[in-house]
Chain A
Amino acid sequence: MGFTRETDHGTLPALATGANVTLTIDGEHVTLPEGTSIMRAASLTGTAIPKLCASDNLESFGSCRLCLVEVEGRNGYPASCTTPIAEGMVVRTQTERLKELRRGVMELYISDHPLDCLTCAANGDCELQNQAGAVGLRDVRYGYDGATNMGQPKDQSNPYFDFDPSKCIVCSRCVRACDEVQGTFALTIEGLGFGSKVAASQDDAFLASECVSCGACVQACPTASLIEKKVVETGTPDRSVITTCAYCGVGCTFRAEMRGEELVRMVPWKDGKANHGHSCVKGRFAWGYAQHKERILHPMIRTSITEPWREVSWDEAIVHTASEFRRIQEKYGRLAVGGITSSRCTNEETFLVQKLVRQGFGNNNVDTCARVCHSPTGYGLKTTFGTSAGTQDFDSVMQSDVILVIGANPTDAHPVFGSRMKQRLRQGAKLIVIDPRRTDLVRSPHVEAEHHLPLRPGTNVAMLTAMAHVIVTEELYDEAFIRERCDWDEFQDWADFVSEAARSPEAIEPLTGVRAEDVRGAARLYATGGNGAIYYGLGVTEHSQGSSTVMAIANLAMATGNIGREGVGVNPLRGQNNVQGACDMGSFPHEFSGYRHVSDDATRAMFEAAWGVKLDHEPGLRIPNMLDAATDGTFKALFIQGEDILQSDPNTHHVAAGLAAMECVVVQDLFLNETANYAHVFLPGSTFLEKDGTFTNAERRIQRVRKVMAPLNGQADWEIVQLVANAMGLGWSYSHPSEIMDEIAALTPTFAGVHYDRLDAEGSLQWPANDAAPGGTPTMHIDGFARGKGKFIVTDYIPTDEKTGPRFPLLLTTGRILSHYNVGAQTRRTANTAWHPEDRLEIHPADAENRGIKDGDWVGLKSRAGETTLRAQITERVAPGVVYTTFHHPDTQANVITTDYSDWATNCPEYKVTAVQVGLSNGPSDWQEDYADHARQSRRIAPLEAAE
């Protein structure tokens, strides 16, 4: 694929009214939807009208005055970007008079622009340069001795892009992109007239401003005024490849713009169905980890975790791995080994790891990190609706009237979708936020929640049941929908249950700490405000009643008829780029791909026929069970692809003990992560830039990941798994991931229509994609629930056993921040640390004052499970009695604190509720010091001796 700029039609598409108008542009008859601008109409029919301030992701603005046209019968020269087409209109876009005017405007532009094109970073990729050429400017008669905005200092504070006001043409595209696309409103035009200039916040440096570094302004800039530092260093790209971001579950697609084998920049792809050309600081900029010096590029082995690593050849590493697993199985039994698939890897790679376990290890001991995040989603939605996935596509939010966000912080954790949600909120949709913290959505520029219910962590079920109480007792439910789509008897049982006085908002107010009137208001709004959509995150699932909460959400949606069309639904905001896919691919110990239970004879027979082995019909071990079994001495070897369970799983002490008890831990990863400190074999992994495959995002959208450069480690991850499998005698012969997908499609009914040629042609597919839904399925349960009748489940509130008391009086909850991703293995190895160099403990001023804690003080954070130290940040974002931290930095080890409590149905850990005490501290805890010591020892590498 060569390098081509995407066509910019200049203005947004017209809102669909169904009506078309016919006009004449430069003598050609054109028929297009009414409301289309003249500029867009011309562009769609192949006529590029000169423009600088217009872009087809922004409202038309009409400031640059290059796009003037002549319209027969009208005075003057209307701007084609702001003038809609009309029936019978006769437009001329190219006349002598227009040439004069455009040249006159361009002459003014260039009279205040440096003429350093040849040495400018945007040379060859500059709209001003192109348009000056297009209008035929040959002379600037104003000279260069007049007033000028040139020579102003550059703002280089942002780690990823520079702002050079001297090159700014004040088109306001950056300001408008920040407002309209990102919704942060960080930029403005300061000053008046000739002195107008772009400013971040109150004329702050970009880094110090409210800017969230999403890159929308850089993308919007038509000159080199806002430009990526990497382009300044490297030069402009010469080819591009469309691929999918490997950070969160939004699944943004990007153009990886390359110069030879070097990645120059990632530019969000306009045709991306999940992101529509938008991005966040992680996907847009934080890919430098792929070339980070700490990346491991050679396989390594060691006999004990106290030894230094020894670099070995791929052959030796693979043979060693296979023989260790066979040895351990011979010694300890078939069930003594297992594997963990990665939500960070492709569907194909994930499928191969679970295949390795089921076919090669001969058991079902496979699990994935979804265990610790959205396993309750899988359970809860499968039970109530019949499918373990969200019901909508992201675009659905643009049809919502009421948006209910529970336990999710999309502007930090799913920022591109967060921006889209904010667009809808600015259009007038109402917002309800249920969250212990005052997240940005609760109140930020031009967005304010109608209701914020700041409940005590751990009381989700009580809260949602109280909302159901209001909906049922005030008869706000949708009886017709329920009678048609759900089981009416089950509904009545549930209605009786929620109607009990003990479940009223007034009765649970002491538990949740939220005023009953607010709960009633929120419930009424959700039930009666039009299309109601629920979005939730790990604040719902990572609780001892995570699955109950998911089902309580499903109950609300069914009771109000908010399922089965655009604008409504139940939508888990899935954390990792491919956590949906990893679950789909059979990563759970009880399920094959497509969520079919291992005890199902027909399914097993299908796989046995395909794989030529007998498969175990008993579910295998979940991650916590594997670790328990390891400490019991019955589980001895684990193959971990792309997951850092030591840092990410709860109760770090227990995880460490389990790993230490094994004889062979294989870690396949980019870096020597924390888990690798307990590993015996390290297989260097490849980044998403270095391999082909697919990711499935939170809206069940399967999208291509494309190799843009050769793997630095020499092998794509799927190839490594295949090498191990073949060393174990499995005889795999995949030559390309597309062949793996063909196998998935053949063995998985919901994926039957998924093939690479279709993905390449159509861009993406949302499963189910099969004969019943040949075009995929953007919205689920349209004509009926996947399971038949929607099932109401009684969700009794059972308080967690993790309770506050005199020793541990505060509740700790955890979460993520915009600039970092989960355990930070990637983002900590990028300049994103400029925004968040360490984890901090958010604490309310009242709680801080009681403990004599000042902002920035080192504090000890202690729970029943462990103790760590970090610095305090005093803020009213958290309520009194609640503290909060992120878990991005291994130095902090927030999961030393979290406990073994977990969801009753799925074992998803209760990360979100830990009773803690906080006090001033002098420095790192003993554990932190011991661990740091161990990590240092464990990361020693003895280099490969022989020439490779």
Chain B
Amino acid sequence: MKRVFISCDMASVALGADAVARAFVGAGCEVVRTGSRGLFSIEPLVEIETEAGRIGYGPVAPCEVEAVLDGTHRNYIGAVDEHRFFAAQKRFTFARCGIVDPLSLADYAAHRGWIGLDTARAAEPQAVVDAIRASGLRGRGGAGFPTGIKWQTVLDAPCRTKYIVCNADEGDSGTFADRMLMEGDPFCLIEGMAIAAHAVGASRGFIYIRSEYPFGIDAMRAAIELSADRVAPFELEVRVGAGAYVCGEETALLDSIEGRRGQVRAKPPLPALAGLFGKPTVINNVLSLAAVPFILSEGAQAYADVGFGRSRGTMPVQLAGNVKHGGLFEVGFGITLGELVNDIGGGTASGRPVRAVQVGGPLGAYFPPSMFDLPFDYEAFTAAGGLIGHAGITIFDDSVDMAQMARFAMEFCAAESCGKCTPCRIGSTRGVEIVDRIIAARESEPARPTANNGVLGKALYSRAPDRIDVSPSAQTTLLRDLCDTMKYGSLCALGGFTPYPVLSALDHFPEDFGAPAPALEAAE
């Protein structure tokens, strides 16, 4: 009986993987459902076990079983491991994803699972924290804070009750790495959390998963049950979000787990000292925790050897939007933005020229192709006025209206604002209104003259709705001032980072805001 591997990842299922799997079962094959390898242009991908390794075909339709089994299918890929998209990766975190049965403890153990946990438990907590520090691992949720320092703070906190919280509220548009890992290799996350628990002295953990990830929730719950004995006395529990983006902010997430309205807390106190239920808490992103087993099993140095500058190890980059080869690509830091978009992603799916890419989700900056030599590195992106965030890259072709994208950024912030701090609560709505005025002015020139003349005019100016200066230049100034207020005044990253997409759109694409286009090849 032939062993066939087909993904059960939500994206693959959306592309028809379930029907394909049923067809292979019907044809008498033993079908193993795995996570996804991460290249969605070839999903549903069918892998046939052979003596020469796993041979892939994709995409495959349910009616094409015969062609696959007799090796004549037109989408023959060959040895999947050798496919250019996969071979070019450094799969530290996603080593097992797409290969193993996500809920098979035997598979997990056979693929170097639990070695990290056993190594950690054989060591003193401080030694584990030291290893994480030595690896250079930084928070993969977006902030890039050194994970080892965070753990050290929790380890040093004098309190008997501590918690490990995993942030799996992956809300950024164009990101899916957390979901893929939870669906494709849930034990990896559990192992990472168990290591963290040992390192800081915690006995309970929570995984906060957004409700939009039903497969991930099911997989994590099943995996927690299956591995309960293996990670005992550490106990884990899944908590499901209720649809609020802001609950991906760590303190709002803690409030949500506690059963409160998900609202951002002021810091200090840091969650590391007073987090969940007021206790010292490690709160890390899925990708940070899932990188931990590798660091323990293969050594901190093996992880730190890869990378660029102060950004060490690998990053599971997610290519999405208008892209030819969308998917997950785990690679060491330092690869350039252009390589990712053009070489790996293959440019746009529409075939039109790339005009902009947004890196780091809806709060990330837009970059024009002129900046594609930017290396993937926390510091380099910060210097360029952007952020890596959760490493989602969304690609746009030349039909994009960047004023509309700036509007979307404000609209997104308005829709997701928790309403606690004023810059975000009111500013995001005002931001939408300003961009609307700019778009209206752009499309109906000339702009109305202002009534700001003379004493009376000035007196009326601040009161009368129709007397504010709606010219694109005045509104653009106001938009920049608003972004300044939001960036430096907001309580959390939602309001604080919304200016990134807005300002980058303004800076790099002024022509979409009714201003002259920047001179080509102008020095940055």
Residues of chain A at the chain B interface (Cβ within 8 Å): 60-65, 68, 76-77, 79, 81-84, 100-101, 104-105, 107-109, 111-112, 115, 138-147, 169-170, 172, 188-189, 191-196
Contacts and interface: CB of A to CB of B under 8 A. Distances in A.
Interface residues of B, number: 44
Contact of B430 (A108, A115, A172): A108
Contacts of B491: 62-63, 65, 79
Contact of A144 (B418, B425, B465, B481): B465
Contact of A193 (B261, B417, B434, B482): B417
Nearest to B267: A82
Given A105-B485, A108-B485, A193 B421 contact: no
B402 interface: no
B171 interface: no
23 contacts: A62-B266, A63-B421, A65-B490, A79-B491, A81-B266, A82-B266, A100-B484, A104-B484, A107-B485, A108-B422, A108-B485, A111-B430, A112-B426, A142-B430, A145-B465, A147-B433, A170-B419, A192-B244, A192-B415, A192-B418, A193-B419, A194-B419, A194-B426
Contacts of A100: 484
Most buried by A among B425, B426, B462, B467: B426
B416 interface: yes
Contacts of A192: 244, 415-419
B420 A63 contact: yes
Contacts of B464: 144
B362 to A, nearest CB: 15
A191 B419 contact: yes
A68 B489 contact: yes
Given A101-B485, A144-B465, A194 B414 contact: yes
B475 to A, nearest CB: 9
A100 B484 CA distance: 9
A825 B417 CA distance: 51
A346 B417 CA distance: 55
A189 B433 contact: no
B288 interface: no
Contacts of B416: 192-193
A76 B425 contact: no
A172 B420 CA distance: 8
B335 to A, nearest CB: 28
A193 B465 CA distance: 23
A572 B425 CA distance: 49
Interface of B: 244, 261, 263, 266-268, 414-430, 433-434, 461-469, 474, 478, 481-482, 484-485, 488-491
A194 B425 contact: yes
Given A109-B422, A193-B425, 8 more contacts: A64-B421, A65-B421, A82-B268, A100-B484, A105-B422, A138-B462, A144-B464, A196-B420
Nearest to B461: A139
A68 B490 CA distance: 10
Contacts of B422: 63-65, 105, 108-109, 169
A780 B482 CA distance: 60
Contacts of A107: 485
B473 to A, nearest CB: 13
Contacts of B481: 104
Contacts of B417: 192-194
Contacts of B429: 146-147, 193-194
Contacts of B463: 115, 144
Contacts of B263: 189
A146 B433 CA distance: 7
Contact of A189 (B244, B261, B489, B490): B261
B310 to A, nearest CB: 16
Contact of A105 (B428, B461, B489): B489
Contacts of A83: 268
Nearest to B474: A141
A600 B280 CA distance: 64
B239 to A, nearest CB: 20
A101 B420 contact: no
Contacts of B468: 141-143
Contacts of B268: 82-84
Nearest to A104: B485
Contacts of A84: 268
Contacts of B467: 143
A84 B485 CA distance: 23
A107 B481 CA distance: 11
Contacts of A101: 484-485, 488-489
Contacts of A108: 422-423, 426-427, 430, 482, 485
Contacts of A138: 462
Contacts of B434: 142
Nearest to A84: B268
Contacts of A76: 488
Given A82-B267, A83-B268, A142-B468, A65 B426 contact: no
The 6 closest A-B pairs by CB, nearest first: A196-B419, A62-B266, A104-B485, A193-B417, A82-B266, A145-B465
A108 B426 CA distance: 6
Nearest to A107: B485
A142 B244 contact: no
A65 B423 contact: yes
A111 B489 contact: no
Contacts of B421: 62-65
A61 B266 contact: yes
Contacts of A141: 468-469, 474, 478
A107 B416 CA distance: 22
A74 to B, nearest CB: 12
B247 to A, nearest CB: 11
Contact of A104 (B414, B420, B482): B482
B4 to A, nearest CB: 46
A809 to B, nearest CB: 44
Nearest to A147: B429
B489 A196 contact: no
A26 B515 CA distance: 42
A180 B412 CA distance: 33
Contacts of A142: 430, 433-434, 468, 478
A172 B263 CA distance: 12
B261 to A, nearest CB: 7
B489 A77 contact: yes
A939 B426 CA distance: 61
B261 A188 contact: yes
A765 B163 CA distance: 48
A143 B465 contact: yes
Contacts of A144: 463-465
Contact of A65 (B414, B428, B489): B489
B489 A139 contact: no
A64 B427 CA distance: 12
A109 B489 contact: no
A857 B491 CA distance: 55
Nearest to A115: B463
A488 to B, nearest CB: 40
A65 B425 CA distance: 11
A104 B461 CA distance: 18
B421 to A, nearest CB: 5
A138 B461 CA distance: 11
B488 A77 contact: yes
Most buried by B among A63, A65, A105, A172: A65
Contact of A79 (B244, B266, B419, B465): B266
A270 B59 CA distance: 72
Contacts of A196: 418-420, 425
Contacts of A172: 420
A90 B461 CA distance: 41
B238 to A, nearest CB: 24
Nearest to B469: A141
B485 A193 contact: no
A81 B467 CA distance: 37
A91 to B, nearest CB: 15
Contacts of A140: 462
A339 to B, nearest CB: 57
B435 to A, nearest CB: 12
